[in-house]
Amino acid sequence: MTLIYFCIFFRSNTMKLNFKTLTLSLAMLVLQSNVIASVDGQPIGPNINLTNASNQNTIFARDSNPAWLGNYQKKDGNYGAGLDLNFYLEESQMESFIDDLEDGMDAIDNKGTDGIDNAVATTEKMIKDINTAFGNNKDAFLSIKASISIPIVLESSKLYGGWSIKQSTHLVGKFNALQTAPGTFDGKVALEKLVADAEAKILANAAQDLIDLTQQLGRAPSAQELKDHTTKKYMPDTEDILDEITTNAGFGLMYGKSSELAIGYGRRVDNLLKIKLAKKQKIKAGVRLKILKSSYNQSIIGIDEYMRASAKGDDVGDKMKDDVKDLEEDHNDTTIGIDIGGQFQTDKYQAGAILRNLNSPSIPIHNTSNSATGFGAVADKEIELKPQLSIDGAYYMTKNKMFVLAGSLDLNKTENLSNDESQWIKLGASYNVPKKSAWYYSFVPDVRTSYSKNMAGSKMSLIGFGLTFGVLNLDLATGKDDDKQAYSGSLGLEFFF
């Protein structure tokens, strides 16, 4: 795996930031991995717009509720396979955070040479701007997720129901701003301390400085020349003043990768349990076992040392590279998750429920930080995938199920693979071309649209649209609200026969 270091969004000699290059860097970090999930219920494929309600028109419906397995439409069963590439990007307050932070960093670029008074003024402005950046944008973050999924479905009465096997990989990159308390700097105290230290050094080295300057000039220096020489040598400048600040601020970086094998089984149970139902009604149940191998690393990087390096003209990019390279460190943490689901179906509607991760699996987060040790209290130790109960339903507006209204609702919040709070409500409508129709229908795509909202965490809302042309699926969703935005997309193939 080639790590595209976050340092490319730092200018080589300053702490200048850029939101577009930061996003690109984080995306490249995620996508450059060489590993091949929907562990947290994030929809894949057409489910982005079909909601988490099962739908007979896509193989990816089995990824929502395992109870849908075994719902074969053909007498001799259904068999299929698919491939899906999925991404999700969400950010909040990043533009304003970086703009405010740059104001503080500009103070370093524009520092004058008027002596220590100017150095104190420069540092006072810097700490004020940094406190503004972190105070006004305390929830600033950027999160990018990508996944590759390959599902295989086998549904037949000969198999006593339906079986699914899915191999997938989930990749996560995340940046967030951290400040445990407002930064502090007392210019008067710092100035008095540094001047006192400088005067002590001048006094202690007076004889040697006189000898050095005499050799340099080739004659005895005047009193003013000696004073100018020692002032320049020992009196503090911006770099020294910066050593006296405390920002309590830094950046949190997280990179995770997980490989998941999910095995599901579902079947009709009303006849098995001898439950009497009306004609065309049935009850189904399903279970899914998920085996997840993961490697999650985080690094928390204090901003103080980067400001000092910038003031000295050091290459800040190289310094950050050293701090984040340990995000590449591989671990082999194994986690097992279990989902169970049930559905009631008729020829006009269906209703279901699924309990994801009923055994509360957790994913360790390894802290690779070698700086900003004061942030230990706010560093995440693990991602706990708490049990989440969701309900879903669909209404078939026509007998051939061409027009479908669907929705799903998470009844409680949990954490997703980005360690963000997740609790979604989703509504969708779709038109599906009849499977047995005239030849010219082959030129008509399936069409779907949706509205979804995360009721926890970022509270983000998205509007989505999707198409299916034959075996090709394309789904997109986007949302923007004040200083936050999100994008979701999926491109995939599926073969079902």
Confidence band, pLDDT 50/70/90 cuts, at residue 196: confident
Weakest-pLDDT range from 228-237, 286-295, 367-376: 367-376
| Higher pLDDT pick, 44 / 266 | 266
> CA 183 to CA 168: how far, in whole Å?
44
Closest Cα partner for 310 from 66, 12, 63?
Answer: 12
> What's the mean pLDDT in 143-162?
88
Confidence band, pLDDT 50/70/90 cuts, at residue 458: confident
Alpha helices in 250-340 (DSSP H): 304-311, 316-324
| Higher pLDDT pick, 36 / 454 | 454
- Parts of the chain belonging to CATH 2.40.160.40: 6-36+38-185+245-496
The fourth-level CATH superfamily of domain 6-36+38-185+245-496 is monomeric porin ompg (2.40.160.40)
Weakest-pLDDT range from 306-315, 342-351, 412-421: 306-315
- Residue 4 is predicted with a pLDDT of 34
> What's the mean pLDDT in 145-171?
89
Q: Hey, is 157 helix, strand or coil? A: helix
Weakest-pLDDT range from 22-31, 121-130, 136-145, 266-275: 22-31
With a pLDDT cut of 90, the percent of the chain lying above it is 27
- Residue 308 is predicted with a pLDDT of 73
Confidence band, pLDDT 50/70/90 cuts, at residue 8: very low
For residue 27, pLDDT beyond 70: no
Confidence band, pLDDT 50/70/90 cuts, at residue 405: very high
Distances (CA, A) of 308 to 110, 123, 156, 244, 296: 14, 11, 67, 11, 30
**Model confidence over 372-393: pLDDT tens digits?**
455 665 667 888 889 999 999 9
Confidence band, pLDDT 50/70/90 cuts, at residue 3: very low
Phi-psi region of 68 (alpha: psi -120 to 50; beta: other; left: phi over 0): alpha
DSSP of 369-426, one letter per residue? -SS-GGGGGGS--EEE---EEEEEEEEESSTT--EEEEEEEESS-EE-TTS-EE-EEE
**Model confidence over 202-220: pLDDT tens digits?**
888 888 888 888 888 888 8
- Residue 237 is predicted with a pLDDT of 65
Q: Hey, is 481 helix, strand or coil? A: strand
**Model confidence over 43-74: pLDDT tens digits?**
778 888 888 887 777 888 878 899 988 776 66
- Residue 166 is predicted with a pLDDT of 93
Q: Calculate the average pLDDT of the chain.
A: 80
Q: Are 302 and 230 in contact (CB under 8 A)?
A: no
For the entire predicted model, the pTM comes to 0.79
Task: Copy the structure tokens of residue 422.
Answer: 């997740």
- Residue 337 is predicted with a pLDDT of 94
Strands 366-367 and 282-302: parallel
What pairs with residue 60 in β-bridges? Answer: none
- Residue 301 is predicted with a pLDDT of 79
**Model confidence over 275-294: pLDDT tens digits?**
999 888 999 999 999 999 99
> What's the mean pLDDT in 327-342?
89
**Model confidence over 93-127: pLDDT tens digits?**
888 888 887 776 666 655 544 456 666 777 778 78
> What's the mean pLDDT in 324-341?
86
> What's the mean pLDDT in 22-46?
52
> CA 34 to CA 330: how far, in whole Å?
12
Which range has the top average pLDDT, 23-37, 112-126, 284-298, 307-321? 284-298
Confidence band, pLDDT 50/70/90 cuts, at residue 411: very high
